Every structure is written in C-alpha cells, then in structure tokens.
Amino acid sequence: MTAVPFSLRRVWLIACVTALEAARQRVFHLVLVLAMGLVLGAHAFREFNFGASELKFMADFGFGALTVFGSVLTIVATAQLFFGELEHRTALTLLAKPVWRAEFILGKIGGVMAVVTVFCALVTLLLLGTLYFRQQTLLAEHPELSESARALDPMAIIAVGVAHWLKFGVLAALTLLIASFARTSLYAVIVGFVMLLICHLHPLARLASARTDSWLLRGVAGMVSLIFPDFQLFDLSASIDSVGAAGAASLIRLVAYAGLYFSVLGSLAVYSFNRREL
Amino acid sequence: MNFRGARWLVVITGLGLTGALLRWLSAPLLLHRPAADRPDVRAETFAGAMGQGIALGIFGGFRPLVADFLWLQVQDRWEARDLGGTLGHLRLTTAVDPQPLAFWLNGARIIAYDMTEWRLAGLTRGDAMSESVGKRIEAEQARMALAWLREAERFHPGTPVLQIERANVQLNRLHDVAAAAASYRSAAELTDAPYYAARLHAELLRRLGRKAEAYAWLRKIHPKLPPNDAAAAAGLVLARLRGLEADLAIPPRQRYRAD
Amino acid sequence: MNGVAAIEARGLTKDFSFGLRGVNIRAVDQLSLRIEVGQIFGLLGPNGSGKSTTIKMALGLLESTQGSCRIFGVPSCEVRARCQVGYLPESPHFHRFLSGRELVAFYGRLCGLRGEELRRRVDEVIAGVGLEAAAGRRVGTYSRGMLQRIGVAQAIVHDPRLVILDEPMAGIDPVGVAEITALIQQLKARGKTIVLVAHELTQVEALCDRIAILDRGRLVVERDLGAEFTALEVSQLSAEHVAELQAWLEARGGVLTTRRVVRSRLEEFFSPRIPATRETPSP
Ligand SMILES: Nc1ncnc2c1ncn2[C@@H]1O[C@H](COP(=O)(O)OP(=O)(O)OP(=O)(O)O)[C@@H](O)[C@H]1O
Ligand SMILES: [Mg+2]
C-alpha cells in the first residue's frame, strides 16, 4: 500500500459537506434573518433626527448586529458541526476512510468559515445598500448638507466588515481548539463565549498591570494579554470619515495578525484532536 | 506525563509563544486604539465609564454603538442647556470612541459657541452685561475649546479640519488674527486640505498688513490650483494677486504671470 | 498459514478511564488474533465484551493502551492502513441532510473515486443493498434498517479488500437479512475478507468460516466452523435406543453432544385439549 499524502481535495469535500449541513440548519437562517432585520431596522433611527451623524448611527447599529449574531453563529456553528460528527458518530465512518485527522479539522473549519463568510458578506452588503439609499434621500432632501453627511466611504464600510470576518475566523479556530478538548458541545459553546469575553478584556488587562501593585493581579493580567488574541484590535470604528492610507496599513497588519492566529489555533486544534478517542 | 496533561502544556505554551511573537504586529495597531484602551491616556475617564455599565458594551465589541448612545446623551444635555452634563458626556463619548471626527468637531463648537452663550444668558441682568465679564467668559470657553482640539489632534494628527476649527476659534472668539493665520497655514500645508484654508491664510495676512507675505504665499499656491474646480477658485486668487500687486506697486515685469 | 494477514492483533489491550480519580475499565485484555485473507470471520461475545472496541483499535479510531494491530501488514495508526478497509459502525448515523446517493458518493470521493467510475460504483452498491428507490431521499428520513443498508453501501463503495461490519443485521427485516447475507457471500466469492460482528448465531453459522468469542475483553474461543461436523437429526428415539446409539458412537470416537426432547408445536399440543365451548349454546 502506498502512502496517502495530505489532500486538499478531501479537505474541500469535508468543508463542502460541513457548509451544506450548516446552511440547511434552521439556526443559521434565523440568525441571518435577525441580523438583516436589525440592519434594516436601523432605518428607525430616522425618527431621532440626528442630522449629519445619522449615517454613522445606522452603520454602527448594523455592525453591532453583525458582531452579536456573527459571534453567536461562529461559536454555535463550530461547536455544533464538530460535535455533530462526534455525537452522531459520523466521524467514525469518516475517519475510518483514508482521511487524515488534520484534513477533518481543516475541512470543518473551512465549512464553518464558508458559512461565516456568506453571513458577513450578506449583512455588510445589505448595510452598504441601506446606507447608500438613505444617503441619497438625505441629499435629495437637504442638498446643502454638510460634508460629513456626504462622506459615505464604501471602502470603510467594507473594511469594517472584513475586520469582523477576520475576528470570526480567529474565533472559529479558537472554538474548534476548545471543542477538541471538550466532551460536549454545550461545554464548548459556553467556554467559547467566555473566551470571547476574555479576548475583549485586553485593555482591562493592560490597565490592571499598569495600575496595580499586586503581584497576583499583574500575573493574571500578563497571562491574559499573552495567551489570548486581542479582539479589540478588530474593532475598527465604522467612523465613515477616518479611513485613509493609515487605515489600509492597519488593515494589512490586522490580516496578518488574524491569519497567524488562525494558523496557530488551527494547528493546535489538529494536534489536540490527533490523539482524541472517538 | 500523560497525553491530557501534555496537551494542555503544548496548547498553553503555543498560545503564549504566539502572543509574544505577535507583539510586534499588534503594538503598532495598539497605537491607533481608542483612549479607553490605553492606560496611559485618561484611565480615569475609562474607570468612570465602567461605573456606568458601559464596560460590558465595550468589552462585547460594541464600542461605536456605545459611543453613539453616549452622543445621544450629549444632545439631550445640550437641549437642556446643561453645561456640566454636556461637557461630561462629551468627554465620555470621545473616551469611549475617539475615532469619529464628528464628535470632536461638534464638541469644539459646542464648547466654544453654545456654552459661551449659555453662560452669558445665565448672568443676572444688571452688573453682568458689562463688557469685561462677557469677554472673559468668551476667552475662557475659547481656551477650553482649543484644549479640546489639542486632545483631538493626539488621536488624529495632521487632520486639516481640526486645524481649521482651531483657526476658527482663534479668529472668532479669541480675536487673535495672527494665531488664526498661522493655524490656517498649517492646515493648508497638509495633504487633503480644503482650498479655502490657503485663501484664508492670505486674507488674514492682508488684514494684518503683512501684504508682501500674503503676496508671496498666493504666488506660491496659485500654480497648483486646478483651473476648472470651483472650490479652488483660481480666478479669485488671481484677482487677489492683482490687487496685492497694485497695493505693493510691483513693477509690471516682476508681476505674476499665470499660464 | 503464511503471507500477510488481513488483521493481526498482538497483545491488544484497551483501558478506559473515567472522571478525576481515573476509574479504569479494561475493555480489551491482551487480545492476540490473526484474521486470514479471504475469510469470513465472526467476532462474537456478550454485550460489552469488547468487540466494537477491538474493531475501533484495528481501524486506528482508538489508541490501544498496549499491544499493536496491523491491517495487511500496515500499523493501524497510519492513514494508509485504511485504504483497503470498509467499515460499518454499530448503529450508524450519517449526515442527515445528504441524500443516500450523495452520501455514498461523498464517501466514495473521500476514497479517491471520481468521474464515471464513481457513478458506476455508487449505482452498483446502492442496488446491492436494495436502496434504489430511496436513494434520492435525505438520509435524515431513513428508517433504522435503511440506515444500516446505506451504511453497508458506503463501506464497500471503494471495493475494499477488507470489510468490517459491526452488527450489520441489527434492525433489518428478514428479506434484508437474506439480501445482506447474499451480499457478504458475494464479497467472499470475490476474494474479500469480511469481519462480522453479530449476535444472531444462526446467521454467524450460516456465513462464517472462522469465529472468535470474546468475554470481558479476553479471547475465550477461536476456531473454524467447517463442514467437518455433520449434524444428524433423528426423531422419536426411546431412552434405551439413545443409550445404544451413544455406546455405538463412542466405540467409533464420536460424541453425542446434544439430546433434545422435541415437543410438538404449541398449537398441535393445545388444540385437541381446548373444549369446543363456542359450539355449545348456553342453557
Ligand atoms: N468510549 C468509551 N468510554 C468508556 N468506556 C467504554 C467506551 N467504549 C466502550 N467502553 C466500555 O468498554 C467495554 C466494551 O465495550 P464494547 O462497545 O467494545 O462492547 P461490545 O462487545 O461491542 O458490546 P455490544 O455487543 O453491546 O456492542 C464496555 O464495558 C464499555 O462500557
Ligand atoms: Mg458493539
């Protein structure tokens, strides 16, 4: 028997099946509909009469919806799709074929990312459309409106959407790593949300280590900022007027940061899953 | 050690190493972070925000949204002409999310103009209408607005609109024409500056009687103005040049030639 | 017998531990077993005796605590050991949202089949397990027996040399049992090796060339089931005839192993004694 090399084709096959499974689940539709509903609902802010900053409010609200539902979707889908295989023992049949465990893990994360990508793209594009439409009406009603109302930079909106997507990628890899340890999907989901919170705590950790004299607190803060990825970095403000050349450079850095974390977390998940009992 | 223990060790070590290695990537990103993230900048404000339950929103990744709702509070306080409340919420808003320029610009205007008006209106009739008190209040608020704009520039260095705003306050409230002229100039020298900053710089120099300086400045900028852009107002600048040439009695051969 | 064995286990042992205090359960205990190519091998034993665990270790799905296992000479932990193996787990579940045909095709692709060959093999095995009519339906809508059948189909889609079936007949109707039995015999005729776990002894007897019986993780019996023994059925012998027959057999080296008292069927036993009450009108 000849050796079986690692195969991207099998990763692709597993990713397709995973994505298909996710896309046929009700939860996914529900989350998508809710997020898109909120984006459209941001129109209600018209009533507040914010004037020039109205578009910013709408954008922030839309991205708030993307953050909430995107995080839920990423964590739940990753845990569900992974444990679905283990609990329903489909992984047994799958891994009894000449399939590397690394292929299985990468296929899983690929499938989850396909779904998350579709989600981010749909919500961001809908938001962009809504904003554009509202801007046109605003300009038609008040042709004399100030610069800030005119300046709707689609690239900035897309950049923020991409930053969210990057964050969800790291989150998916992190959840998969947790799942490779966990015994049940509920446990993985709960720990996933706790990790999500901790990954947002970096500023607090920095504040604590700068201000406290306590050894213990400093140690904990140092550990947090060393071990966990910093999700606040992905929190680009949707401020429509502040993405320029510096923004592009930041975005490239952010892509590198997310990409490296994704690879490391993914590799650790593969390592941890490699010797897991099925 | 058994595999379970070894696995924890490998994962923690791996993440720790990654965190340490990625510092060089994340450190520059951190520099652009909002004040609320940085213990060196205004930690007090942040602590205040925490007390108000805003922390959860920030930690959940909803910073812009939290800032927006704080801004709503600013507007609410503004309508009530509540000076302390407005100022407090302005500070909180920009501490939570200093990225949107609109917060800083509107804040500067509220501090410089609206608050002056509220304070003047609050004075009792008789003695208060005296000229000197009014002037003092105006100057106080103007200086506060300038400090506010300096803070803004820490987050948005080299932003023309902030410098123009500074110039406006210096000109309209402090009546310091020379300082305003300098501010317009530094704004005009930035990329992406609106054309009128350069024109206003020359105009103020002319008002100060520094006509030769104004003339030299306009000669320098005119060739760079696009002829077909109404905002650039190349024709207007040329007319100003001609006027200054007449005032300064420049001999015809040395006059500016536009082509 | 020489040459490489389909499965060869040496001193295979598996401990499961639970909880923080690490309570141990020894599921498989020092199991050494050699399954030759071309056989139908039956793996028997009571519930919890370690049959499924043994199979999972052979497939590299579980790591053995001690000992080793090879498939066609390749250590089980290597991916290439699984190239020539088809596996049906006990009470299998599959991706519910795929149709039966999609599912079998998916597993076929994972094994490297593609194009025309894939299509041909998928049609062939689906027909082989008698699921043509339901092949377009989602697996989520399948009954237990249908799941079992689609499981057999995916196990053999890539035409492996070794097929491991963990309780393939569970939940299958009598017609299905006959079909799967025929399928297994067909596979054997084509030179495949089959490992069969089953509780239904008549099926095992009908199919297997050799069996092993596990009890609490230990191998207690391993033997051939050949045609060497001929069973003789004789009815209605009196006790003294039996004694005579036994003496005769023993003189020739035979043993009388079972003696059954055969009753007539329940119905025959009962019916003459049931009074014909229905015909008697009540006074
Ligand atoms: N994942 C597991 N964790 C802990 N113990 C297990 C696990 N799998 C099996 N066992 C234990 O190992 C022993 C053997 O189980 P196994 O499933 O191999 O039995 P089996 O012979 O296949 O039984 P059955 O006929 O019921 O299928 C049992 O005592 C079982 O409780
Ligand atoms: Mg079993």
Q: How far is the CA of C146 from the centre of ligand 2 (A)?
A: 19
Q: Give the pLDDT band (50/70/90) at residue A110.
A: very high
Per-residue CA distances from B201 to A189, B50, B100, B214, C71 (Å)? 61, 44, 27, 8, 87
**HEC per residue, chain A:** CCCCCCCHHHHHHHHHHHHHHHHCCHHHHHHHHHHHHHHHHHHHHHHHCCHHHHHHHHHHHHHHHHHHHHHHHHHHHHHHHHHHHHHCCHHHHHHCCCCCHHHHHHHHHHHHHHHHHHHHHHHHHHHHHHHHHHHHHHHHHCCCCCHHHHCCCHHHHHHHHHHHHHHHHHHHHHHHHHHHHCCCHHHHHHHHHHHHHHHCCHHHHHHHHHHCCCHHHHHHHHHHHHHCCCHHHHCCCCCCCCCCHHHHHHHHHHHHHHHHHHHHHHHHHHHHHHCCCC
CB-CB contact of B200 with B167 (8 Å): yes
pLDDT above 70 (res A164): yes
- pLDDT (tens digit per residue) in C112-160: 888 899 999 999 999 988 888 888 899 889 888 888 889 999 999 998 9
Domain membership flag for residue A75: yes
pLDDT above 50 (res C229): no
Sign of the CA dihedral with A168 first, then A174, A175, and A180 last: positive
Nearest atom (ligand 1) to Cα of C167:
27
- And the tokens for C124? 């062939």
Domain count, chain A: 1
Domain membership flag for residue A157: yes
CB-CB contact of A53 with A45 (8 Å): no
- Ligand 1 atom 11, closest CA: C27
Domain membership flag for residue C7: yes
CA separation for the pair B141, B173 (Å, rounded):
9
- Name which of A200, A210, A250 is nearest B60 (Cβ-Cβ): A200
Instruction: Pick the ligand that lies closest to the CA of residue C165.
Output: 2
Domain membership flag for residue A2: no
CA separation for the pair C86, C89 (Å, rounded):
10
Which domain, by its residues, includes C204? 1-84+162-228
Residue C235 main-chain phi, psi, to 5 deg: -110, 160
Domain membership flag for residue A124: yes
Domain membership flag for residue C45: yes
Q: What is the pLDDT of residue B55?
A: 61
- pLDDT (tens digit per residue) in A38-94: 888 877 766 555 545 677 778 888 888 898 899 999 999 999 888 888 877 788 888
Which stretches of C47-200 are DSSP H helices? Answer: 51-58, 100-110, 115-128, 144-156, 174-189
Test A272 with B65 for CB contact under 8 angstroms: no
Q: Give the pLDDT band (50/70/90) at residue C87.
A: very high
For C:35-64, CB contacts with A below 8 A are 56, 59-63
Q: Exposed/middle/buried for C40, CB within 10 Å: 0-12, 13-18, 19+? A: buried
C93 reaches A (C-beta below 8 A) = yes
- And the tokens for A89? 């023992």
B28 reaches A (C-beta below 8 A) = yes
- And the tokens for C5? 């064995």
Mutation target for A interface from B33, B78, B94, B156: give the one with most A CBs within 10 A: B33
Q: Exposed/middle/buried for B245, CB within 10 Å: 0-12, 13-18, 19+? A: middle
Q: Nearest Cα to B48, choosing from B4, B106, B93? A: B93
CA separation for the pair C279, C267 (Å, rounded):
20
CA separation for the pair A132, A243 (Å, rounded):
18
Domain membership flag for residue C50: yes
To the nearest whole percent, how much of chain B has pLDDT over 70?
A: 83
- pLDDT (tens digit per residue) in C170-220: 878 888 888 888 888 888 888 889 999 988 877 787 888 888 888 888 888
Residues lining ligand 1, judged by CB closer than 6 Å? C 16, 25, 27, 45, 47-53, 90
Q: How far is the CA of C50 from the centre of ligand 2 (A)?
A: 7
For range B135-147, the mean pLDDT: 91
Q: What is the pLDDT of residue A168?
A: 95
CA separation for the pair B150, B69 (Å, rounded):
24
Test A3 with C80 for CB contact under 8 angstroms: yes
Q: What is the pLDDT of residue A267?
A: 92
Residue B122 corresponds to which amino acid? G
Which domain, by its residues, includes A117? 8-274
pLDDT above 80 (res B30): no
Domain membership flag for residue C266: no
- And the tokens for A237? 């403000």
pLDDT above 90 (res A24): no
CATH at residue C60: 3.40.50.300
Domain membership flag for residue C268: no
Domain membership flag for residue A3: no
Test B68 with A232 for CB contact under 8 angstroms: no
pLDDT above 50 (res A195): yes
Q: Nearest Cα to C262, choosing from C243, C242, C237, C231? A: C237
Q: How far is the CA of B252 from the centre of ligand 1 (A)?
A: 106
Domain count, chain C: 1
Which stretches of C2-143 are DSSP H helices? Answer: 51-58, 100-110, 115-128
Q: What is the pLDDT of residue C282?
A: 42
Neighbours of chain B (3+ CB pairs under 8 A): A
Q: Are strands C85-88 and C66-71 parallel, antiparallel or unpaired?
A: unpaired
The interface pTM score, or ipTM, of the predicted complex is: 0.81
Q: How far is the CA of C167 from the centre of ligand 1 (A)?
A: 14
Mutate to test the pocket of ligand 1, among C13, C15, C16 (most ligand atoms within 8 A of CB): C16
pLDDT above 80 (res B179): yes
pTM of the model: 0.78
Which residue's entry shows tokens 């052979």? C58
Domain membership flag for residue A1: no
For B:164-193, CB contacts with A below 8 A are none
Q: How far is the CA of C46 from the centre of ligand 2 (A)?
A: 9
Domain membership flag for residue C54: yes
Domain membership flag for residue A179: yes
Mutate to test the pocket of ligand 1, among C12, C49, C59, C204 (most ligand atoms within 8 A of CB): C49
- Name which of A177, A203, A237 is nearest B97 (Cβ-Cβ): A237
